[in-house]
Structure 1
């Protein structure tokens, strides 16, 4: 479970598993693309810089599906130019009733043939509700039909008949008043009154009809997909899913992950939630790796539990809870409203050239400029929700800046009005069909334009030398370039093949040993490490090998990196351990910024001196490479942090100071 939690558990620095891929216990291989013939001996290739031509020397042109082209320049540097990677991830932001626009995006994706390429859906709040339906295999027309007719007000109804009747009577009264006000040209006031008459009687709703609808519709969609693939009937694991759904069970995250391997229309799913651990809000991630047996309808209900309007769902019997423990949860958008996988798990962003892209749908409204500090208004919002909403929003804005080329803004300010507000957008559960269609059309145009722009635009990357450029290519793109007869390319191919063979030997050697015992440097393990040291005769090769040793999802290699070895005996292993320690520091620094620095910045009444100190600490943490540098930054913060809203200079007790001291790293 991706839970950012400090008080309840010891700090962990092992990166959690990526959101897009299953764990891998072997080194990747080019065998499928290049055959399995004998590997020729390696020889060091000199790459003398070109001195005559000012133009790049073409090394290869338009290779593979991404049309990879590589050129080398007179200073020896290399340029890689290629098409954008496939869109395999769709990210759906939270926005309440503004989610009525989403069918437009799904229609555009389907018409462009891109919906079938999507393998993973990630959603927060209203985006989680949409994602749960699409992940179950629902097509664009079916999703639009369901979305347009879904009465969000009715889905908040009480199961108690008398209360439900009173809720509907209030809604009818609101509708009548709105009609009267419309006649005297006060339609905006009428809409506001109607909204209040619908929402107020339903405050703190348990939203049981919402979860029931999601469960029924997702089950129906998965069963329809199974019916369209009779060739899967003989598989017992799939037959078990069908039988459970036919008997009234709900679709689980594990079901989606299994079926996604056979039915592309069914997607893997990530949903965010906010858990209140001892009164402290922490982001929770629901997916197949962490909550495989959880029903997606339940997770979507939790993520969509808009504060105040919804009551907080209670959960128990989950992998992240102790036996007998109950957890109060709320809206997933509180901690991360735009759930980009790389923001949830920064460990997935270590490759210089991306193999996959996101399509991120973010609603128009608010500023794209990071807010520097908190305000009294923001403090009130934090108090109402019970979470550092302002701090998390600022962190999200900062993080999203790196994904601007993967983002489509959902148009909400149009000729039909401004739908960005809380009442005009988020809680506009009585939005007219005409307004829904208008927003869908606007979003369809925006997504279509984005997709067309990706087709016409090409990405370009610069590297110090040709070998660095080749080794930075994702596996499929490297395999396409490897078909070139160029001598330097073939030398790099032979290096990578030989290195992968030795990495596979290392993984096998580690897996063959008792996991509960201390790892021994066996002869086969030592021989493979020595072979890798002999191969690592250039900076590019060393960097590539270090990256291979630090794969976030390879537990065998992680175990080796955590095992003591004689100093200096295996240089590439030592360098890989150094990189692992650096990543550990980066992970801890990242968590400190999220858990200590930003919540403190957004506390009301922070004096300018504290704001400057916190920003200085953030800068030091971002650049920290060792535990000592982290500790120096934290000590500086703890020693110089001043009192807020007090006549004295130093706080008598301070959450910021105590947290800074608690996060000190072992040197």
Structure 2
């Protein structure tokens, strides 16, 4: 089963965004302190419009922690180090996708890396570029998660704590990277792990202390192999469902995992148009919407959806804090998109947020 998901995740790539104008809106009273974003590849263009709408409605103003997986981790990291929604859109809109596909002698080199390092492309260029983006806002290209936390404590209106996910193939579990778990890890490396699409980008190796191993591991050195967090936690909406993240006096009893539903978490999720009506009913999703399979693309879409959804189950109450965004039938795979297509996805993201907020009780 895992091999199927690995092959399906092969198509996911760097999150692209495009600029678009937003209608003027009156700020709302902040209700959320945590923001989580799903992985989604090229479909994540829609997040640009969603974030602009959240910013205009005053929601981003109250966010203290941001988390995400794969493409969502990239977006979360930029928010964490101080980028506004418009700045994120501008940055990624100016980033050529092909810049991420690095490595000498692509065919023969890629074949060698695939066998020896578990990925066709190196992924080094992405890590370098992510470091540059971090430095633009912090003057520290090697900023660690612990150092980011210190900045968030000193300037809470500018910086936020970052939480990303990775799939640890060695331990066979999801691993969360944050100042709480890996304070000395670089922000760029935490994101690089989360977007390490299996077989596409080279896997990231960690030692027993969760330090990134550069080069070839020493003989006998314990090694952990990390790849894209989307294999097991594509939409980690429960990242902040722990008592320590709840507001003082919040009700709730921890479940067997120690989790407590956190109503101050908001999630952005990409879905099919046919699925969204089932996601937004009062009782929450009851089933996956059927697929009309007519060709190989729709076959792969159906296979990807049923596998990923069953590996990443949600609780019924999670839909109350989830913004469902229509990805308009786009595949998650890396490809160029036109300005018109970008605008369509941006508008869809904005509409998803508007529909979600319209269903919420008015805050006094």
Query: TM-score, length-normalised on structure 1?
Result: 0.39
Report the counterpart of residue 261 of structure 1 in structure 2: 153
Report which structure shows greater RCO (CA 8 Å, sep ≥6): 2
Counterpart Cα distance in 2 of 1:451 and 1:123: 21
Offset, 1:390: 6.7
In the TM superposition, residue 431 of structure 1 has moved relative to its aligned partner by 1.9
Structure 2 equivalent of residue 498 of structure 1: none
Q: Distance in 2 between matches of 1:360 and 1:99?
A: 13
Q: What residue number does 2:357 align with?
A: 451
What CA deviation, in whole Å up to 9, does each residue of 1:412-437 have, x standing for no partner? 12xxxx21xxxxx2114212222122
Give the Cα separation in 1 of the matches to 2:29 and 2:54. 16
Which among 167, 186, 193 is matched to residue 274 of structure 1?
A: 167
State the 1:451 CA deviation: 2.9
Is the partner of 1:269 in helix, strand or coil?
strand
Match of 2:132 among 216, 228, 233: 216
Q: 2:33 aligns with which of 83, 88, 91?
A: 88
Match status 1:358 vs 2:358: no
Aligned partners of 1:123 and 1:271 also within 8 Å: yes
Q: CA deviation at 1:84?
A: 9.3
- Are the aligned partners of 1:303 and 1:331 in contact in 2 as well (CA < 8 Å)? yes
Separation in structure 2 between the aligned mates of residue 343 and residue 134 of structure 1, nearest angstrom: 17
CA distance in 1, matches of 2:89, 2:228: 24
Q: Does 1:441 align with 2:354?
A: no
- Please name the residue that 2:233 is paired with: 336
Q: 2:203 aligns with which of 294, 307, 312?
A: 312
Q: 1:522 maps to what in 2? A: none
Matched-pair contact (CA < 8 Å) for 1:125–1:331? yes
Deviation at 1:85, TM superposition (A): 7.5
Query: C-alpha distance in 2, partners of 1:274/1:292?
Result: 18
Shift of 1:221: 1.5
- Judged with a 3 Å threshold, the aligned counterparts in structure 2 of structure 1 residues 310 and 342 are, in CA distance, closer, same or farther, namely closer
**Partner residue of 2:183?**
292
Q: CA deviation at 1:134?
A: 1.1
Local SS of the residue matching 2:33: strand
Question: Partner of 1:302 in structure 2?
Answer: 193
What TM-score do the two structures reach when normalised by structure 2?
A: 0.69
Deviation at 1:106, TM superposition (A): 1.5
| 1:124 aligned partner | 69
Q: CA RMSD in A?
A: 3.5
Q: Secondary structure of the equivalent of 2:360? A: helix
Tell whether the 8 Å contact from 2:208 to 2:224 is kept in structure 1 after alignment: no
State the alpha-carbon separation in 2 of the partners of residues 354 and 92 from structure 1.
Answer: 17
> 1:431 maps to what in 2?
337
Match of 1:155 in 2: 100
How many residue pairs get aligned? The number is 288
Contact between 1:85 and 1:356, CA under 8 Å: does it hold in 2?
no
SS in structure 1 of the partner of residue 312 of structure 2: helix
Q: Distance in 2 between matches of 1:341 and 1:306?
A: 22
User: In proportion to residue count, which structure has more helix?
Assistant: 1
Would the aligned equivalents of 2:67 and 2:239 in 1 still touch at CA under 8 Å?
no
Change (3 A) 1:84 1:396: farther
Query: Following TM superposition, where does structure 1 have runs of at least 4 consecutive aligned residues deviating by more than 4 angstroms?
Result: 342-350, 353-356, 366-371, 389-392
CA gap of 1:344–1:320, structure 2 versus 1, over 3 A, is farther
Structure with max Cα Rg:
1
CA contact (8 A) 1:342 1:348 kept: no
C-alpha distance in 2 between matches for 1:337 and 1:344: 16
Aligned to 2:50: 105
Map 1:183-582 onto structure 2 (within 5 A).
204-223=120-139, 245=140, 249-263=141-155, 264-277=157-170, 281-316=172-207, 318-319=209-210, 324-342=221-239, 351-352=251-252, 356-365=263-272, 368-369=285-286, 393-394=309-310, 396-397=312-313, 399-413=314-328, 418-419=329-330, 425-456=331-362
Gaps in structure 1 of 5+ consecutive residues: 1-82, 168-202, 224-244, 372-380, 420-424, 459-667
Deviation sequence 1:40-62 (CA, Å, 0-9, x none) = xxxxxxxxxxxxxxxxxxxxxxx
Which residue of structure 1 lines up, in the alignment, with residue 294 of structure 2?
none
CA distances 1:132-169 after superposition (whole Å, capped 9, x unpaired): 111100012210101212222221221x2x549x99xx
In the alignment, is the contact (CA less than 8 A) between 2:36 and 2:236 conserved in 1? yes
Asked whether the equivalents of residues 211 and 298 of structure 1 are also in contact (C-alpha less than 8 Å), the reply is: yes
1:30-80 C-alpha deviation (Å, 9 max, x unpaired) = xxxxxxxxxxxxxxxxxxxxxxxxxxxxxxxxxxxxxxxxxxxxxxxxxxx
Query: What's the CA shift for 1:286?
Result: 0.2
SS in 1 for 2:67: strand
CA distance in 1, matches of 2:287, 2:363: 28
